[in-house]
Structure 1
Amino acid sequence: MGRCDDAREEPADAHAQEHGAAAHDLRWARDVRDSMRCAGALLAVLLFVDWVSGRFTLWRGALWLALALLLFIVLYPARVSAAEGWLASRGLLRERRVRTDLLVSVRCLDGISQRLVLRDAFGGRVEIDPEVLVRNPQLWFRLDHGVHKSVAGGTLLCGATALRRLAQRVDRETARAVFEASGLE
């Protein structure tokens, strides 16, 4: 006998949020694959050029492999996750974590790539790409919830302007996505 769970089906994010499960960057796996493709393409081009020129040796192949591996390490994206009271960024070697309910500063660094730097009362520091929060509303929701607790507790001393701009951007992108999904754009 079959069961019909369609009427009781809940969105996975709502269920995770209810039970305090961590929210993750949904595009992280795709970004890792893109990093591998770039490194692989570089390796293939270098090996092909060596092969066509007739200068390929085992040592040169090892050098090109090391160069491609270095490119992969540079392009490897941090995996951002958040739950009630914390936000973490995990790279290849290390995870950095902050307590979002005890933030003392939030800064937006401009440069070649924009970075959001979060610091908590225990000295924890996380640096993430704000685009990750824009692409993942659940991550933003968890961070924003913690920020409100920090403001209410009086620990957040610096960063209200950066957070307000980011909140407006997240709201704008979320509204755009809703309009696109509903065909109202």
Structure 2
Amino acid sequence: MGRRDDVRGGPGGADETVGDRDWKRELWAAVRCAGVLLALLLLIDWGSGRITPWRALLWFALTGLLFVLLCPARVSAGGNWLASRGLVRERRVRTDLLVTVRCLDGVSQRLLLRDALGGRVEIDPEVLVRNPQLWSRLDEGARKAAADGSLLCGATALRHLALRVDRETARAVFRASGLE
């Protein structure tokens, strides 16, 4: 139970993994933004006659940095685990062993999840709102953690998020049925 690499599979590894449906679209949006900026910078330099290999390298580095900043994390969940994969590494928590859940406010709202094994994941709550299956996996595990007494902090944050997910799901149903 204490190993980090046994988190993925349920009994026999038969659990179904769900992921963010909008991740590819967001990734391509980041690529397009960086590509358009690079094209504009190179075009302006070329038009002014000031383009040099060093300036072009600087523009490539600048647009690469923009891509790194805009690149979305790929969020996925399965039986009792939730993972967020960035460009470099994957972070994972056991949802049935959650200890804290916190909403971090700032430029963009983040949800910080920590488990009893030391796992830590920070995700955009909007991903859970847009993907009810991901939310369902997190909620299922968080309920187990709360029932077992390991979830010490975060029940209120999860309740607020549950209300938001339910509200957005109802709106989507009304839109799909033409009742909006």
Identify whether the pair has TM-score above 0.5, normalized to the shorter chain: yes
Within 2, Cα distance between the matches of 1:20 and 1:138? 13
The residue correspondences of 1:149-160 to structure 2 (distance < 5 A) are 149-160=144-155
Per the alignment, residue 4 of structure 2 pairs with none
**Equivalent of residue 22 in structure 1, options 12, 17, 21:** 17
Q: Does 1:33 align with 2:28?
A: yes
Shift of 1:20: 1.8
1:42-53 → structure 2 map (5 Å cutoff) = 42-53=37-48
Structure with bigger gyration radius = 1
Letter in 1 for 2:169: T
- Write out aligned runs for 1:1-185 (5 A): 20-185=15-180
Q: Deviations over 1:59-107 (max 9, x none)?
A: 2111111111111011110000001100000000000000000000000
- Percent of matched pairs sharing the same residue: 71
Q: Which runs of 5+ in 2 are unaligned?
A: 1-13
CA distance in 1, matches of 2:170, 2:69: 33
TM-score (norm 1): 0.89
The amino acid across from 1:126 in the alignment is V
Gaps of 5+ in 1: 1-18
Name the CA distance, whole Å, in 1 between partners of 2:66 and 2:101. Answer: 30
* Structure 2 length-normalised TM: 0.91
Distance 1:42 1:148 in 2: 45
Q: Which moved more, 1:60-69 or 1:165-174?
A: 60-69
Q: Alignment RMSD, CA only?
A: 0.7
Distance 1:63 1:50 in 2: 12
